[in-house]
Amino acid sequence: MIDLHTHSNFSDGTDTPTELINKAHAAGLTGIALTDHDTVAGWQEAIDHLRPGLSLILGSEISCQTLDGISVHMLGLLFDPENPELSSMMAQTRDNRVGRMAKIIARLNSADYEITMDDVEAQLSDGATLGRPHLADALVAKGYMKSRDQVFAEILHNDSPFYVSHYSPTPEVAIQTIKAAGGVAVIAHAMSSLRGRVVSVESFASYVDAGLDGIEVFHRDHTQPNRDLLSQIANEFDLVKTGSSDYHGNGKLNQLAEFHTDPEEFAKLEARANARRVIKR
């Protein structure tokens, strides 16, 4: 079983890369992708703690935004982590997330939530990508709410008045940059209406022109009609179909390996990278 989308505490997951590797091994996975938001900072720890029988597929989930303001997540897998353009694209997003957090905090302060940047940073591991989940954890720690889920449902969802976006490349630019770094690009949870507005079926042609390799079809946020439609789009454009958990440790209900990717589909995906970068022990 191969799980192609997970998070560690180098972004908004709660497990260290080591814990993630150990849990993947215990769950009987044969392959796991580490895809923290806009960073490769967790890669080395995962490599150092890799277990026999488990293949490590290194990547990142790149935050994107369409020109009309729709948030899109693009999984970049098996790219060269030293590639300067991709590294600087991710660094720009991470830097921008700090100012964006200050703006969200200011809006919350105006609504009488007493919360500071220090409170949020206290929820963040060293070197991790800052995001709304850390703010949610800080609000929980202060007793305003019971869980991350409750904070997202009530005040931090994409359509909330407290929501502020951050710099992000367009999906097309992200795909081109991932591909130029030798990797493969898979659009994540493209039809998850839980996340607010989603991209149109028509926009896939433009992503394919940019070099899109795959579609994450099997994901808990997709209904069966969503999965059928995404499968149809994948067939039409000869794209790889993936499945994954989007595991975040205790940060979300998603359980490791709850959805997975067919090994034959993964083989097609891997063949589209410019070098063999799957790591085995």
Which residues contact ligand AMP (rule: CB under 6 A)?
12, 37, 63, 131-133, 148-149, 152, 248, 251-252
**C-beta closer to ligand AMP: residue 31 or 133:** 133
**C-beta closer to Fe ion: residue 116 or 223:** 223
Report how far residue 47's alpha carbon sits from residue 212's, in angstroms, rounded to the nearest whole number.
27
> CB of 133: closest distance to ligand AMP in angstroms?
5
> CB of 235: closest distance to ligand AMP in angstroms?
28
> CB of 7: closest distance to Fe ion in angstroms?
6
- Parallel, antiparallel, or unpaired for β 214-218 and 71-77? unpaired
> CB of 247: closest distance to Fe ion in angstroms?
9
- Residue in the shown chain whose Cβ atom is closest to Zn ion: 12
Report how far residue 142's alpha carbon sits from residue 202's, in angstroms, rounded to the nearest whole number.
44
Angle, CA of 2, 148 and 32, to the nearest 5°:
10
> CB of 165: closest distance to ligand AMP in angstroms?
8
| Greatest distance between any 2 Cα atoms in the chain | 53
- Least Cα distance to 219 among 239, 198, 246 occurs for 246
**C-beta closer to ligand AMP: residue 167 or 237:** 167
> CB of 116: closest distance to ligand AMP in angstroms?
17
DSSP 8-state secondary structure symbol assigned to residue 129 = P
Please pick, from the candidates 12, 15, 172, 270, the single residue that binds Zn ion as defined by CB under 5 A.
12
Please pick, from the candidates 246, 249, 259, 269, the single residue that binds Fe ion as defined by CB under 5 A.
246
Report how far residue 33's alpha carbon sits from residue 60's, in angstroms, rounded to the nearest whole number.
9
For tokens 């992708």, the residue is 33
**C-beta closer to Zn ion: residue 10 or 162:** 10
Q: Of 61-69, 119-127, 154-162, 235-243, which segment contacts Fe ion by CB under 5 A?
A: 61-69
Q: Of 7-15, 21-29, 160-168, 216-224, which segment contacts Zn ion by CB under 5 A?
A: 7-15
Please pick, from the candidates 73, 166, 260, 277, the single residue that binds Fe ion as defined by CB under 5 A.
73
The set of residues, in sequence order, having a beta carbon less than 8 Å from that of 22 and lying 6+ positions away, is 49, 51
Angle, CA of 108, 140 and 64, to the nearest 5°:
60
- Least Cα distance to 32 among 2, 52, 60, 59 occurs for 2
Report how far residue 219's alpha carbon sits from residue 74's, in angstroms, rounded to the nearest whole number.
14
Residues in contact with Zn ion, total (CB under 5 A)?
1
**C-beta closer to Zn ion: residue 71 or 242:** 71
**C-beta closer to ligand AMP: residue 248 or 277:** 248
Question: CB pairs under 8 A, 24+ apart, for 178-181?
Answer: 178/62, 178/74, 178/76, 178/79, 178/86, 178/211, 179/210, 179/211, 180/83, 180/85, 180/86, 181/76, 181/79, 181/80, 181/83, 181/85, 181/86
**C-beta closer to ligand AMP: residue 190 or 273:** 190
For Zn ion, the binding residues (CB under 5 A) are: 12
For Fe ion, the binding residues (CB under 5 A) are: 61, 73, 188, 246
